[in-house]
Amino acid sequence: MPRAAATRICLWASLFFGSAWTLGAQTVESPLVPRGSLFFRMDPSATTVEGLYASTEDGQTPLGSSLSFPALGTGEVPALIPVAERLGSLAGLSTTPSLRIGGTVARLSGDERVVPLQLSYGLLDRLTLGVTVPFIRKRVETLLRLDPEGAEVGLNPIGTGAGSVPAFLGDAQAALITVQDAVDAFCLQRGEEDLECIAGRGLVGDTDSFLTQLDGAYQEEDVFPLEGSVLGDGVTSRWLDLVARFSDWGTTGPEGLPLASDPLNQSTFESLVVAPAWGTEGFPLETPDAVMGLGDVEVNVAIGLLEPAPPPPVPTTDPGTRVHAAAVASIRFGTGSPDSLRMVSPIDPPRGVSGFSVRGIADLIFGGRLGRVAILGTLEAGWNGSRDVTLLVPDPTAAFNPSLTRSEVSWSPGPHLRASVTPRFRFGPGLSVGAGWHLLRRDPDEFAPVSDSGGAPLPAIPAGIDGFTQQRIAFEIRYTTMHSPLREQAPFPFEILFRGSRSFAGTDGAVVESRAEAMVRFRLRD
């Protein structure tokens, strides 16, 4: 047994570094498989999205920045308008205040694991039919927190004041009863038409109205004006003006009106701001469990365009240069799940939509003194159909507006263009190492409202996700025995690839991402 194992090791070593160096070793990327052969291929990849490119001083913006607001008030959160109207009326304001509750801090990171499984059958030497079934695991890590800096309201003191609110209301009602008794006695003596009686009746009515409003706000609202805020000073001033008028009737009232002393906590922020816009099944405040799901199934047809004689040996004095080229046409079926958070975490490519793409592959292999050098180039264009989908963030600039979340739309991802150029150095039979440049250009997505059969108004739909251009640098190592002469000498033909890439530039909206890819392909049967 040790002797047999040693023999196999020597065979592979000779194929990898030995006598085959004088043969026609090549490192061609080709989607073709030999006629009559069935091959299995797996292309696992992992993509991590860290942010978006933007026209800022840093050139980037964090993913989810559209959910970050330095000041959050009624302009950004329509659900706060009724609360603001109530507290503004309590403070005696003629207009609705902005009711700032602070700001938001949002950080998102998206990652995707894709495992495409492909079976390819060689119909002819230059014609291969394949079916690809991908499995996808997508995860969006979310952080959405309230920053109380600059807030004008905080937690209602009825839940944090250790009895101060009931005590104040009790003392205030007692003072009001005393004033009312004094006013009743005065009016009984002087008559209801007396100016002082009229003023006393007005004081009783104003105080009763204020205390009724105050008690309602204490009992029903989650928030209350903060101590030292303009809104809080307004409520306090209104009460102190009433108390100052109590002295005209020989009465004093409590002056320490309880205001909020603690900023809003996370649970109040979620119930007051997030839930009205997103509901219980909306924005994932907690990271959901991610499981593998079916992606978009594809049918691929590969055609060999240029398949010249085997390339020159390594090293060689043959001055000839050879080109291997193939084309792949793919039809994609929208069997996967569409991304309802696409406008927040735009991992490319879009999922769950049918489409069609054409890809060309050309491998330029030099001879002569450059006999160890090859250049791989690819060019792909793709088009997509449309699909109805529930879009959770149709307008990221109004992320907490209930009328602009969870809209039913018809989604049409924009066409794309991919290109890559990868110079490679050939070490020996089938082995190459390369570093290259990848380009992705995607046109804007388009959205159209879907009519409701009940005649409900159509949702507000944004113009679409802007198109973008992204550039990446990639490094790869590849080994293949798929082609002559290694195909004839290897126990079985196979191909492996490892590639790492990272984006280094992009226009507004392009993702800042890192990607790790692998590939293994081998023959199942002849």
CATH assignment of the domain containing 128:
2.40.160.40
Residue 299 maps to a domain: yes
**What are the pLDDT digits (tens) for 429-472?**
678 899 999 999 999 888 777 765 454 555 555 545 678 899 99
The predicted-structure confidence for 187-207, as pLDDT tens digits, reads as follows 998 888 889 999 999 999 999
Question: How far is it, in rounded angstroms, from Cα 223 to Cα 74?
Answer: 14
Share of the chain above pLDDT 90, in %: 37
pLDDT band at 11; cut points 50, 70, 90: very low
Reported as a single tens digit per residue, the pLDDT across 392-407 is 665 666 777 766 666 7
Is residue 49 in some structural domain?
yes
Total structural domains in the chain?
2
pLDDT tens digits, 214-240 = 999 999 988 899 998 889 999 999 999
155 contacts 264 by C-beta, under 8 angstroms: yes
Is 257 found in the same domain as 219? yes
Of the pLDDT bands very low, low, confident and very high (cuts 50, 70, 90), residue 134 is very high
Residue 103 lies in a domain: no
pLDDT-derived band at 5, boundaries 50, 70, 90: very low
Which residue among 262, 282, 310 closes a domain?
Answer: 262
- Asked whether residue 274 is assigned to any structural domain, the reply reads no
424 shares its domain with 339: yes
Q: Give me the helices (H) in 250-293, please.
A: 266-269, 275-278
SS (H, E, C) 363-421: EEECCHHHCCEEEEEEEEEEEECCEEEEECCCCHHHCCCHHHCCEEEEEECCCEEEEEE
79 is a domain residue? no
Lowest mean pLDDT among 39-48, 173-182, 481-490: 481-490
Same-domain check for residues 345 and 415: yes
Least confident among 147-161, 284-298, 411-425, 501-515: 284-298
Give the per-residue pLDDT at 8: 43
Q: Are residues 323 and 247 in the same domain?
A: no
In three-state secondary structure terms, 526 is coil
Residues 461, 358 within the same domain = yes
Tell me which residue range forms the domain holding 409.
Answer: 18-74+113-148+292-525
Same domain, 341 and 364: yes
Which tens digits make up the pLDDT trace of 42-51?
Answer: 999 999 988 8
- Compute the distance between CA of residue 247 and CA of residue 493 in angstroms, rounded to an integer: 101
Could you write out the DSSP letters of every residue in 282-344? SS-SSPPPP--EE---EEEEEEEEE--SPPPPSS------EEEEEEEEEEE---S---TTTTT
Is 309 inside a domain boundary?
A: yes
Phi-psi region of 228 (alpha: psi -120 to 50; beta: other; left: phi over 0): left
Same domain as 515, residue 500 = yes
Both structure tokens of 193: 């038409």
Domain boundary among 224, 247, 262: 262
pLDDT at residue 368 in the model: 66
Residue 285 lies in a domain: no
Please check whether residues 254 and 328 belong to one and the same domain: no
Q: Is residue 455 part of a domain?
A: yes
